Structure 1
Amino acid sequence: MKVAIKKKLVAIGTVAAMALASLAPPAHADELTGTLKKIHDDGTIVLGVREASIPFSYANGDRTIGYSQTIALAIVDEIRKTLGMPNLRVREVTITSANRFLMLVNNQIDLECGSTTHTRERENVAAFSNSFFQYAVRMIARRNAGITDFADLAGKPVVTTAGTSDERLVRQLNSDKQLNMRIASVKDHSDAFAAVKADRAVAFVMDEPILYGFRATDPRPDDFVVTGTPLGYESYACMFRKGDEPFRELVNRVIAKMQTSGEAERLYNVWFTQPIPPHGINLNYPLSAEMRTLFAHPNDKALD
């Protein structure tokens, strides 16, 4: 009984701390460091966005939309409050899987919340927020191709996206199992799916939710199937520059509040269980037990 009471008091204390933080006065300019100082001095935050990471971050006419883009904009709102800059400008820069880390290190973007996997190796280059999505790595193929698992890809052309953790996983599988797959790595996800549609590859290996996104938004979704025993389980997180604790604390505070308040689950339902732009297709990708656990216990741990 005492343990339960203690846990409840800790939870109440956490909520109270979040509430007090939201009422805190704006930070003074001379107290700022790192990314927050850069944003303050520039009067602009630069977001790295994706063109075709459906439903996370993707172009819809003149703006970027998606599940993780919404999280990024919630972080921007918190930055506006923290800096006392209600008119802070947002500039979007389109990135790819291949160039996103270089653009971050070169200060061409300040924050990226798209579909970037948090791995321990990548911690040498970038810092990562609390995870906002957990998923399996699988593949998409034509339903009539007879592809049900990765062994069926032996000797066949396969495509993945360059610079992704999935590329490493499928190449390792190819080597370990001596499958002799002919693996092509292309610039972005849309190019990879286009290769399957044009029959230049029999399968596209990628993060499961992205594959469901392409399948759902294709004019002929029933022609394709997401399949295969998972190559592994990974998580997405927002990415920003290393060694910036004030910025990390702000980003993680926003994500943790969204997850523990129920806002993240509502957002998930909007993008994964209801019709989404541009074609009003429903991905029918219900919240997993692993995601519920993540929302209940926010953390920034890599899964590899």
Structure 2
Amino acid sequence: MRPLTAISSGLLLAACLLATDALAQTGGNEALSPTLSAIKNAHTVRLGYRESSPPFSFLDQANRPIGYSLELCEAIVEEIGAEVDDPNLRIDYVKVTSDDRIDALLQNKIDLECGSTTANSERGKRVAFSPLMFVAGTKLMVPKASSVQQLSDLKGKTIVVTKGTTNEQAIRAADQKFSLGLTIVVGADHEQSYQMLVDGKADAFATDDILLSGLIVRHKAQDKFRVTGDYLSYDPYGIMFRKGEPQLSAVVERAFRKLGSNHDFVPLYNKWFMARMPTGERMNVPISLQLEEAFKAMDDSASANN
């Protein structure tokens, strides 16, 4: 684990990145930004969702998109409705993957990406992010009977990563730095990567720790797999939207500050990470001190200043 001071510095850096565009304000009489104008004309907001990123964004038994990130996006949609004077906006759900989610946003196929996307400086050159909604990091999933405890134990072995993720970058960098001679195979999405581990096509699966835990819970595989290793990356999550639209950024910021001021963040977190999910599973992942502090920073209520 990295020292708390390093984590705190990382959180400060992430907060600056996540809120880069979100501080700008626009007057009510100005023309709507391109995304907001298109939403107003179509009476529709298109939300990009993931099929297998529990508890952030996944499908329930009826194949309906649900999850923590989607509820945050729905709060943003409500705020968009107020901004464009259309409280009855329709939501269209559009499936995206880790590999095509950024292109889907840039190519105007979705308006908000509601998954488990890391906000980093490289991506920040192309897209914008909401304030911080979760903090994760790359770890390993291995069979319970495996002797692997950390990445170095996989020297010369096969590891699966999901295409287009920061985890893939982290594993490739570690492989080169430490001369591990890894065979790195790639899954199209987290479910496919998980299945490759199940089928014995890989010795470990590397992605964010919370996603690994979510997959184990979702598949009721606690007796078959475990999460192990030191953190190999630092991954602050945010809702992704198009860059260069200060008015949209301000709307996203307001939605998060309303959740913070109404003290809705922690109950929403507990709904998806502590309580039993609609699909029947329970994550049992208490909120971290770092995330709790990030949520408090979104609280503009009078009680927060007392």
TM range (shorter): 0.7 to 0.9
Residue 14 of structure 1 corresponds to which residue in structure 2? Answer: none
Q: Would you say the 8 A contact 1:132–1:255 is kept in 2?
A: no
Residue 302 of structure 2 corresponds to which residue in structure 1? Answer: none
Residue 21 of structure 1 corresponds to which residue in structure 2? Answer: none
Gaps of 5+ in 2: 1-26, 300-306
Number of residue equivalences: 272
Q: Within 5 Å, which residues of 2 pair with 1:98-177?
A: 98-177=99-178
Q: Would you say the 8 A contact 1:54–1:214 is kept in 2?
A: yes
**Bigger RCO of structures 1 and 2 (CA < 8 A, at least 6 apart):** 2
- Provide the C-alpha distance between the structure 1 equivalents of 2:176 and 2:237, rounded to a whole number of angstroms: 26
Residue 233 of structure 1 corresponds to which residue in structure 2? Answer: 234
Between Structure 1 and Structure 2, the one with more helix by share is 1
**Amino-acid identity (%):** 35
1:51 CA drift (Å): 0.5
Residue 15 of structure 2 corresponds to which residue in structure 1? Answer: none
Q: Which has the larger radius of gyration?
A: 1
1:294 CA drift (Å): 1.2
Q: Would you say the 8 A contact 2:129–2:240 is kept in 1?
A: yes
Please tell me the root mean square deviation across aligned C-alpha atoms, in Å.
1.7
Gaps of 5+ in 1: 1-25, 300-304
Q: Would you say the 8 A contact 1:27–1:83 is kept in 2?
A: no
The change in CA–CA distance for 1:183 and 1:298 in structure 2 (over 3 A counts) is: farther
Q: Would you say the 8 A contact 1:153–1:181 is kept in 2?
A: yes
Residue 289 of structure 1 corresponds to which residue in structure 2? Answer: 289
Deviation track 1:139-158 (CA, whole Å, cap 9, x = no partner) reads 11111011111111111110
Q: Would you say the 8 A contact 2:130–2:253 is kept in 1?
A: yes
Residue 54 of structure 1 corresponds to which residue in structure 2? Answer: 54
> 2:132 aligns to what SS in structure 1?
strand
1:48 CA drift (Å): 0.7
Q: Within 5 Å, which residues of 2 pair with 1:217-232?
A: 217-232=218-233
Q: Would you say the 8 A contact 1:155–1:182 is kept in 2?
A: yes
TM-score, structure 1 length as denominator? 0.86
Residue 76 of structure 1 corresponds to which residue in structure 2? Answer: 77
Q: Within 5 Å, which residues of 2 pair with 1:262-281?
A: 262-278=263-279, 280-281=280-281
The one-letter code of the counterpart of 2:137 is: A
1:288 CA drift (Å): 0.9
- Provide the C-alpha distance between the structure 2 equivalents of 1:260 and 1:195, rounded to a whole number of angstroms: 43
Deviates further, 169-178 or 283-292: 283-292
TM-score, structure 2 length as denominator? 0.85
Q: Would you say the 8 A contact 1:27–1:84 is kept in 2?
A: no
